[in-house]
């Protein structure tokens, strides 16, 4: 028995080493970016490159805050990211719940149409979306940024998968106890799919936080731009301000890192289970 356990442990060592090497490879660009944000500009572009700065400096962060209105951009990024995600929880979970727990005419056809929209690239609907937002008077304001990002076929698919994995007996018992349909959805079902909800929050917030194209299209006032748009200003036609760009990227990374640290337990579980049920 001991020899078998020893063999298992020895077998795990090369697997762990492989995963460790892959983790280092994946984290290297982030580590490079963070360390480069403390380097002088001439050291960032020198060859051969160095990982650690010869002397740490905060000049890049000071330059970043002076060159762009970073605090306004940060505020807009928070409003855009969380403003689109919070109503997205309600809309997409209700749609997923309906597809998973109710029977109605044309349900499968409607769901297939929803899934088919996932194959349409954003670039195809970009101009029609802009024209619609402009016609509704939502150009250059938070409504134009947030409302088109609330519902998404992928989130509906993920919520449907999460709700489909719950036993029907829960609903029947809740109905016997006198709960109405909304009470069953909100008080019984929603707490049971917490990992899927956290996954939706993290992926949605992260996607909106890093979104460059939609805020660029739907806003013309610099006071409405997000941090991703602000960082793009460091890339010019002839020059790139690497130090300031790295410093801004490091600042942009912090909120998403905090969000993932607090939600990683549920995020991993949600990623593993939300797609198991069809």
DSSP string covering the chain:
-HHHHHHHHHHHHHHHHHHHHHHHHHHHHHHHHHHHTTS-HHHHS-SS--SS-SS---HHHHHHHHHS-HHHHHHHHHHHHHHHHHHHHHHHHHHHHHHHH---TTHHHHHHHHHHGGGS-HHHHHHHHHHHHHHTT-TTSHHHHHGGGS--HHHHHHHHHHHHTS-THHHHHHHHTT--HHHIIIIIIHHHTHHHHHHHHHHHHHHHHT--HHHHHH--SGGG--HHHHHHTTB-SS-B-HHHHHHHHHHHHHHHHHHHHHHHHHHHHHHHHTTS--
Using only the alpha carbons of the chain, give its radius of gyration. Answer: 23
Beta carbons within 10 angstroms of residue 24's beta carbon: 10
Q: Is the pLDDT of residue 237 over 80?
A: no
Q: Which residue has the higher pLDDT, 47 or 64?
A: 64
Q: Is the pLDDT of residue 123 over 70?
A: yes
Q: In this predicted structure, what is the pLDDT of residue 46?
A: 81
* Domain residue limits, the chain: 58-273
Q: How far apart are CA 50 and CA 95, in angstroms?
A: 51
Q: How far apart are CA 275 and CA 107, in angstroms?
A: 19
Is the Cα torsion angle 97, 80, 215, 243 positive or negative in sign? Answer: negative
Q: Is the pLDDT of residue 274 over 70?
A: no
Q: In this predicted structure, what is the pLDDT of residue 1?
A: 54
The model's pLDDT over 145-197, given as tens digits with 9 standing for 90+, comes to 999 999 899 999 999 998 988 888 888 888 888 888 888 888 889 988 888 89
Instruction: Look up the CATH architecture of domain 58-273.
Output: Orthogonal Bundle (1.10)
Q: In this predicted structure, what is the pLDDT of residue 253?
A: 92
The rounded percent of the chain whose pLDDT value lies above 70 is 92
Q: Is the pLDDT of residue 215 over 90?
A: yes
Q: Which two tokens stand for residue 250?
A: 């490091």
């Amino acid at each position: 028995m001991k020899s078998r356990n020893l063999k298992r442990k020895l077998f795990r060592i090369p697997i762990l080493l492989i995963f460790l090497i892959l983790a280092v490879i994946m984290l290297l660009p982030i580590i490079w970016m963070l360390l480069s944000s403390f380097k002088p500009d001439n050291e960032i572009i020198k060859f051969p490159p160095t990982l650690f700065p010869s002397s740490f400096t905060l000049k890049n962060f000071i330059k970043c805050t002076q060159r762009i209105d970073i605090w306004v951009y940060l505020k807009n990024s928070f409003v855009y990211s969380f403003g689109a995600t919070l109503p997205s929880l309600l809309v997409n979970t209700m749609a997923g719940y309906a597809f998973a727990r109710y029977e109605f005419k044309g349900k499968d056809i409607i769901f297939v149409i929803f899934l088919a929209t996932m194959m349409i690239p954003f670039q195809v609907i970009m101009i029609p979306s802009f024209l619609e937002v402009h016609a509704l008077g939502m150009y250059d304001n938070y409504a134009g940024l947030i409302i088109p990002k609330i519902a998404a076929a992928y989130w509906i698919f993920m919520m449907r998968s999460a709700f489909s994995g719950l036993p029907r007996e829960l609903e029947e018992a809740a109905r016997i106890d006198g709960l109405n349909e909304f009470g069953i959805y909100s008080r019984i079902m929603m707490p049971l799919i917490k990992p899927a909800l956290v996954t939706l929050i993290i992926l949605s917030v992260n996607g909106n936080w890093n979104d460059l194209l939609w805020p660029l299209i739907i806003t013309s006032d610099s006071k409405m731009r997000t941090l991703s748009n602000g960082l793009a200003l460091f890339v010019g036609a002839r020059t790139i301000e690497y130090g300031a760009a790295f410093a801004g990227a490091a600042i942009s990374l912090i909120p998403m890192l905090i969000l993932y640290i607090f939600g990683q337990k549920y995020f991993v579980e949600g990623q593993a289970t939300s797609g198991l049920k069809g």
